[in-house]
Amino acid sequence: MQLKLKTVLNSKENYPGFIYHDVRLTGTKDQRIEIKMKPRKGSKAICSGCKVKRPGYDRLVQREFIHVPFWGFIVVLLYCMRRVACPTCGITVEQVPWSHGKSPLTKSYAWFLSEWAKLLSMQEVARQFKSSWHHVFTAVSMAVTWGRERMDLSGITAIGVDEIYWAKGSFMTVVYQINNHCKRLLWCG
């Protein structure tokens, strides 16, 4: 049985309204897997402002989105974003399900990097996965923001405030929840 990369991608990363059009191995020295994405026939673009499906009227130049590496190969999604004439927001670029805004990372790759950053330093994660420190930092920042938005602050009955020496002449204030059943960092600044 021959297993194709498109089949694997569709089983793990199926994006409604889009298809994996072409998958190829490129380069001689630094080989990478390039995956061309296309909108599914008849599908409308989603306005990045109001999140409503609207018809697209033209395309921008091809963008690269760095995806989770596969067997040591760098994987890149290639896609020409559609521009949308939205009656509410004006002319915008479509929102794609695999990335946030102008980020060059896919959501899957950002979560992948942030999980590894729990175990290794950001610099080491960047080195191991042939990425940049900034990409790892962005991924960790995305994960922290996601967690902070879902943080439950109910039931806090006791807090502790402390100052930690941070650098010459400056301190960092930290606030902890110190209930008997839960001890956790709530804020630092």
State which H helix or E strand residue 65 sits in. Answer: strand 56-70
Structure tokens that stand for 39 in this block: 């909108």
Taking residues 152-168, what's their average pLDDT? 88
φ/ψ of 96, rounded to 5, equals -105, 145
* Per-residue confidence (pLDDT) for residue 115, from 0 to 100: 95
Q: What angle do CA 174, 179, 181 make, to 5 degrees?
A: 125
Q: Would you say residue 3 has pLDDT above 80?
A: no
| Cα torsion 94, 100, 101, 106: sign | negative
Mean pLDDT of the chain: 89
State which H helix or E strand residue 75 sits in. Answer: strand 73-86
From residue 159, alpha-carbon distances to 47, 92, 148 in Å are 43, 45, 18
Are the C-beta atoms of residues 56 and 44 closer than 8 Å to each other?
yes
* Per-residue confidence (pLDDT) for residue 14, from 0 to 100: 86
From residue 47, alpha-carbon distances to 52, 65, 86, 89, 95 in Å are 6, 19, 7, 8, 6
pLDDT band at 8 (very low <50, low <70, confident <90, very high): confident
| Lowest pLDDT segment from 28-32, 50-54, 73-77, 148-152 | 28-32
Q: Would you say residue 119 has pLDDT above 50?
A: yes
Are the C-beta atoms of residues 78 and 64 closer than 8 Å to each other?
yes
Among 30, 41, 37, which residue's Cα sits nearest to residue 9? 37
pLDDT band at 1 (very low <50, low <70, confident <90, very high): very low
* Per-residue confidence (pLDDT) for residue 165, from 0 to 100: 86
Taking residues 95-121, what's their average pLDDT? 93
pLDDT in tens, 28-46: 777 889 999 999 998 999 9
Q: Would you say residue 167 has pLDDT above 90?
A: no
What are the sequence ranges of the domains in the chain? 1-98, 105-151, 159-188
pLDDT in tens, 121-147: 999 999 999 899 999 999 999 998 998
Residue 153 zone, left/alpha/beta (φ > 0; ψ -120 to 50; rest): alpha
